Copies of this chain bind each other. A is one copy, B any other.
Amino acid sequence: MAVAVSTEFDFAAYLESARGQVELALEAALGPERPESLREAMRYSLLGGGKRLRPILCLAACELAGGEVALALPTAVALEMIHTMSLIHDDLPAMDNDDLRRGRPTNHKVYGEAQAILAGDALLTRAFEMVALRSPGVPAERLLQVVGELSLSAGAPGLVGGQVVDLESEGKDVDLDTLEYIHLHKTGALLQACVLTGAMIAGASEPLLQGLRTYSRGIGLAFQIIDDILDLTASSEVLGKTAGKDLTADKTTYPKLLGLEESRQRAEALVAEAKAALQPWQANAQPLLALADYITSRDR
């Protein structure tokens, strides 16, 4: 029997199926947390919608590297937990002081500041538990590599470092290098961890990991440029968070430094670079290639 090779990749169906898997895994992950109030605060933000881009990137990278996707699910959940904790902490009054996130009041608006800080801390530690204690079937060496990658991407060398520079840059004139530093750390590091950890779980080769580093650097920066553009051009209703905030805060953005049109071109060039880096693995790279395009075409 001949196997039909389809050149059409149904990205919408892929995305829906992956999202469904992720939502189920997220829902199942926060079972036994006590006390109840902490569990509620953790669930509120973790299960409060979102594109689930990070876990899906992790699953897609695992698949690209020839791994069984189910084995990467706990790590995918861990990545969303880390992302969620960074949103909760970034929204705090002492930081970005945001009232709205994913169309709903931010965590501290609902549960108070203390609970929000602690819910973030609990999600961060829970992420490491997912990998270390809830990832059956993956060799310990690989899981330890994943723990290492998660800790680097979430901490001072990654998103925390990016957030510090971002806060310190508020109200200052920031050049393109600093803007790139902020985004490569604040958003890029965790996006990179998504594809690297997914591939690590599958036991990926070093050349593939290198290709994924280039890929994630490209989509990470493109993602942020699009975020800046959307903040200027979309409404709060569509975004599910306060729009026009960068302008109000006099924040340096790509559109501000480069203009809207050049920012768009740059994002497209970065996505092209990202996709080119996966050339040697193209046969299995359809989800990651489509995700790269999705990032520049999204409207929220």
Contacts and interface: CB of A to CB of B under 8 A. Distances in A.
- Give the number of copies in the complex: 2
Interface stretch (A44-52, A157-165, A214-222, A288-296): A157-165
Interface string A91-126: 010110000000000000000111101101110111
A89 B115 contact: no
B94 A114 contact: yes
A172 interface: no
Main secondary structure of the interface of A (DSSP, over half): helix
Contacts of A164: 35, 37-38, 115, 118
A128 B132 CA distance: 11
Q: Determine which residue in A113, A128, A148, A152 has the highest number of CB atoms from chain B within 10 A of its CB, and name it.
A: A128
A129 interface: yes
A154 interface: yes
A174 B75 CA distance: 39
A140 B38 CA distance: 32
**How big is chain A's contact interface, by range?**
35 or more
A124 B126 contact: no
Contacts of A124: 121, 124-125, 155
A177 interface: no
A92 B121 contact: no
B33 A114 contact: no
Instruction: Give the one of A32, A35, A42, A168 with max B CB within 10 A.
Output: A35
A284 interface: no
A118 B163 CA distance: 8
A251 interface: no
A156 interface: yes
B34 A161 contact: yes
A150 interface: yes
A167 interface: yes
A4 interface: no
A144 interface: yes
B140 A42 contact: no
A3 interface: no
A42 B157 CA distance: 13
A264 interface: no
Given A140-B144, A148-B129, A152-B129, A160 B114 contact: no
7 contacts: A121-B121, A121-B160, A122-B156, A125-B156, A131-B147, A133-B152, A144-B144
Interface of A: 32-35, 37-39, 42, 85, 89, 92, 94-95, 112-115, 117-118, 120-122, 124-129, 131-133, 139-141, 143-145, 147-148, 150-152, 154-157, 160-161, 163-165, 167-168
Given A131-B147, A140-B140, 12 more contacts: A35-B161, A37-B168, A38-B164, A121-B124, A125-B151, A126-B156, A127-B151, A128-B128, A132-B147, A132-B148, A144-B147, A147-B147
